Amino acid sequence: MINLGKLHEYKNVFGFFAQMLTYPEKLDFHPSVLAESLDSKHPAYESVRVFWEQMHGYSMDQIEEMYVQTFDFQKKTTLYMTYNKFEDSRDRGQMLAKLKETYQLFGLDIASSELSDYLPLMCEFIYAAHWEGHEKEAVESLDLMLAVMEDGSYHLLKALEKFESPYFHLVKGLRETFKACINQEAAAHEHD
């Protein structure tokens, strides 16, 4: 079960992940971006720091090319979190509809051209959503969203590791952030 307090505490970090997982721009890699997003106490700091240092070893043209080659031309490294599990099945359509309902519940109407399981969009939503006063709905909806993100990012992480991509460390940091937002006691009881 999700810990809304932790999720709220890490909102800025989800904004950082959204920014790093969209098509790169030069300002994305300004030192202030990392400094303003997470500090050394954050559970994802070490993974994100490795990503950050590796990316600064590339030119902007190389980063753009890496992004396109990684996320646009490889099915295994798709940023669509339900694709690897469902591909284009009916189950995927139902999951996309549920995710879209979550966005709408919190006042976000996504463009019809964008699928609701797009990882940068999901991170941006967590960064921007206000669930104060809607905690019950937020727990159910965000539990589902984090479960989809966790499941999809597992496959993404494994593929990025195989390709030896710097993005491996970024996605690892994202997964460490998910883990920090889950009530560990509740998770432990589920396995009993």
Mean pLDDT of 179-183: 90
Judged against a pLDDT cut of 70, whether residue 116 lies above it is answered with yes
What is the structure's pLDDT at 112? 67
State pTM to two decimals.
0.90
What is the structure's pLDDT at 46? 97
Query: Which residue pairs, CB below 8 angstroms and at least 24 apart, start in 59-68?
Result: 60/24, 60/26, 60/29, 63/24, 63/29, 64/23, 64/24, 66/165, 66/166, 66/167, 67/23, 67/24, 68/23
What pLDDT digit, counting tens, does each position of 82-95 carry? Answer: 988 887 778 888 99
